[in-house]
Amino acid sequence: MTENETLFGMDLAQLTALCNELGMPRFAARQLTRWLYARRTEEPALMSDIAQRFREQLATRFTTALTPPRRVDRSADGTKKYLFATAQGAYIESAYIPDGERATLCVSSQAGCRMGCAFCATGRQGLVHSLSTAEILNQVVSIPEFERLTNLVFMGMGEPLDNADNVLRALDILTAEWGFGWSPTRITLSTAGVAPQLPRLLDQTKVHLAVSLHNPFPEERAQIMPVERAWPIRSVVDILRRYDFTHQRRVSFEYIVLSGMNDSPRHIRELVRLLNGIKCRINLIRFHRIPSSPFFSPDEETMLRFRDALTARGIHTTIRASRGEDIQAACGLLSTAEQMARSGLSAPKEE
């Protein structure tokens, strides 16, 4: 047990083991899940149906995990970017994106990221540390809009499958009937393609999957996504062919369009070849230029032409609406280190 151990973020199996260890009745594990996830109370003193002596033991042993965001930036389009401090002193961001009836939270899974994608501000930071299960869930439950959330996307800072244990546990707690009871169809996990962890995700959860593709040619993809050298996109696609995406679960491929680099007819033909036989969607994302980046944003005409060419070849293709650009909350722009350096901050201000 570490000194930073928290009750919040434990799954039912862990809580059951804890109850056994402390000599608590077996049903106490379910009682704990109700306090932690239905009532969002992690203070043992308030857990009135747990015997006093056990509450005291829990209070001595566990620290609190739920912490409010340190700062919020608001976009003109209603998007909000929340900044959270981690127990290890790093900073992470989550983007809240309201859109009519929908309210999506883009969640981070790591502080920084070691995948090193060339177009991504987070990747420039390198990996600071992976988030605990509690730190992942805290982003969801500690924002004022928690009750309004309809969708969660694991597309914030970090590679979720590079922190698979904690991300899978967070997904379990989010979707279990003893947890938050969310439908897995309201959750999407995005990966750059960490092939060894992919079957685990697809076997253990029912959440939607988004794969960052960005270029169908191995050599070209490796130039912008070093992960290609470890786990080629072709091997990722081969794994996906073993699963059924025709019913409840969806797979989509994210494609950041970089002007003059991956937007030619040659790329369209190869994309069609690569994804042949997989029921999927391609999400085109306009590249957001980040300072000192060698990449440029495509114009609207290129985006439309690319979308229409793929659609004509039978792949359902959409262009993702850009949100929160004015507060750097858009895809690939989350980078606390850069923003804090730019604004001269050494630590975030309290809201």
> Is residue 123 at the binding interface for ligand SF4, with CB under 6 A as the rule?
yes
Q: Which is nearer to ligand SF4, 158 or 179 (CB)?
A: 158
325 catalytic residue (yes or no): no
Taking CB under 6 A as the criterion, which residues in 164-193 touch ligand SF4? 192
Segment interacting with ligand SF4 (CB under 6 A) among 97-105, 119-127, 163-171, 284-292? 119-127
In the shown chain, the binding pattern of residues 77 to 116 toward ligand SF4, with x for contact by CB under 6 A and - for none, equals ------------------------------------x-xx
Which of 75, 122, 175, 205 is in the footprint of ligand SF4 by CB under 6 A? Answer: 122
Judged by beta carbon, residue 4 or residue 223, the one nearer ligand SF4 is: 223
Binding ligand SF4 (rule: CB under 6 A), the pick from 50, 105, 117, 271 is 117
* Contact window for ligand SF4 (CB under 6 A) among 154-162, 242-250, 271-279, 308-316: 154-162
Compute the least distance from the CB of residue 333 to ligand SF4, in Å: 10
d(CA 81, CA 333): 11
Catalytic site residue from 106, 117, 120, 331: 331
93 in catalytic set: yes
Q: Which residues are catalytic?
A: 93, 331
